[in-house]
Amino acid sequence: MCSILGIFGLQPGDDVGALRRQALELSQKQRHRGPDWSGVHLDEGAILVHERLAIVDPAGGSQPLRSSDGELVLAVNGEIYNHRELKKELAQPYAFQTGSDCEVINALYREDEPGSFLNRLNGIFAFALWDRARQRVVVARDPIGVCPLYWGHDREGRLCVASEMKALSGICADVAQFPPGHWYDSASGKLQKYYVKPWRDYDATRGVQVSAQELREAFERAVHRQLMTDVPYGVLLSGGLDSSLVAACAARFARNRVEEDDVSEAWWPRLHSFAIGLEGSPDLAAAEVAAAALGTVHHGFKYSFDEGLDALPEVIRHIETYDVTTIRASTPMYLLARRIKAMGVKMVLSGEGSDEIFGGYLYFHKAPNAREFHEELVRKLDALHNYDCLRANKSMMAWGVEPRVPFLDVEFLDVAMRMDAQAKMVDKASPGKRGIEKAVLREAFEGYLPDSILWRQKEQFSDGVGYGWIDGLKAHAEKQVSDRELAAADKRFPINPPQTKEAYYYRSLFDQAFPGTACAETVPGGKSIACSSPAAIAWDASFAAAADPSGRAIAGVHNAAL
């Protein structure tokens, strides 16, 4: 992954030299995402700046990517995992200028409209494509929103896009998130949704069965696709179910090179795994068990509470949110990314998305029927770009480490989400292990992991790194925020006023980095979606009073599930 910045709609009287300097200065604010190289394109209508993190074709592949005639200019943050297949399917020859996986977007644009070819991409991406001949810009973001993207207009009305909000917050009064699964066409002025799936409607999934073998093989293919890399990589391994399954599948493919059809030995054949936690962390202990079973070269790092506390202002500046759960979990992930980068690793596979696909959060135990269970899954997938995807991407990319998320692979999603949600529901009346969340996924991977890992109870990442982390954050916030300040929170923060002292403290740090109404409005609610979910409250009224989104705070569900 990388970062992009674009300014479009330049006019003949514009000072292009000053605009170029401004674009470079703005792009520097997100250079942590792409420390390997910078590229700039400037013409009469547009400026594109790219900060590169070289993962595929590191010797070439610099961006912006230009067509041979110079008429198409593309800046992309992301990875296109099926780029080789797409190249073979082209209806007409295209003169590729690099070995970049992303250049296939230019070739597809030459043959078809974005509304059609975007659904052919299997990858994670946010891009701006400038068609110089037609003075047309196309902006698009991947289906789930794994890659961040923001847009707005400067005071002259020019369209501006960037990978992170910090690059636009000073020049765009209307800065906002670009929605996942959409594309914008300057020729029509329309923002259009391209990612529309039948499985969003429960009736399309009713009665559909997916075998354990089909589910397992679909996920293995997703992991295999995402091992596409020309640089050292690893896996995040918390010792929970999701990261352990990613690691187990990656370990099966690690010895061969994906980009050469597995016929040659991988450049880095030993799989490295990484975990972090406080002293006594449940995750660190479980990760050791999983790593030993899988034979990974494991690296378990410890951090102190003070180290995490010291990092909070920078964490919030990087992740660009004041959501409580996201900040709690982002901080250890941010510290882990720094350790990983220090070891020379530039890409990691991670387990985000599984809970949203299979109903892994503890409140799903209370779902009354399959329809409501499924509808809540869809709602959570729609919101994922504001929470776990944001955390994983921005925490890791703060140090130039690219996270990939196989559970959110679009082909795997089609398999897992077309399954009738009845198969995903917790069945407490059934004997054996069906009384735990995500049993259908666990059963599909019997034998891949020790039972102590495969059937481990769900814990949020911020809990798993050590229970003292959350307790310490609350105690620190109690000292920083007075009762009077919290009582007047709606006066200082009229948009999503914080409800707890911890939330108030985070909001204050966010406001220092991102003042202004527009920035605050990019964060939806500032409270964990698990607790604020209308469905969760409808299923169990006690969730309405759950101001704390920690998994431990949902004690009734947690205890009943043990």
Decide if 37 contacts 30 (C-beta within 8 A): no
Amino acid at 101: D
Amino acid at 192: Q
In sequence order, what E strands does 409-534 have?
Answer: none
CA 314 to chain centre: 19
DSSP state at residue 179 = P
Q: What residue has token string 């220092």? A: 512
Two tokens, residue 112 = 């078809």
Amino acid at 534: P
Instruction: Supply angle C-alpha 141, 147, 152, rounded to 5.
Output: 60
DSSP state at residue 512 = H
Instruction: Supply angle C-alpha 11, 14, 15, rounded to 5.
Output: 150
Two tokens, residue 450 = 């020790």
Q: Given CA atoms 483, 487, 488, 490 in this order, what sign does their dihedral have?
A: positive
Q: 182 has which bridge partners?
A: 193
Which is catalytic among the residues 2, 147, 249, 519? 2
Decide if 299 contacts 363 (C-beta within 8 A): no
Amino acid at 253: F
Decide if 168 contacts 162 (C-beta within 8 A): yes
Amino acid at 144: I
Please count the residues of the chain: 562
SS3 458: coil
Question: Which residues are CB-neighbours of 283 under 8 A, at least 6 positions away?
Answer: 238, 239, 240, 275, 276, 277, 459, 461, 464, 465, 466
Two tokens, residue 536 = 């969760």
DSSP string, 356-382: HHHT-SGGGGG--SHHHHHHHHHHHHH
Clarify whether 389 is annotated catalytic: no
Decide if 272 contacts 235 (C-beta within 8 A): yes
SS3 174: coil
Q: Which helix (H) or strand (E) holds 51?
A: strand 46-52
Catalytic site residues?
2
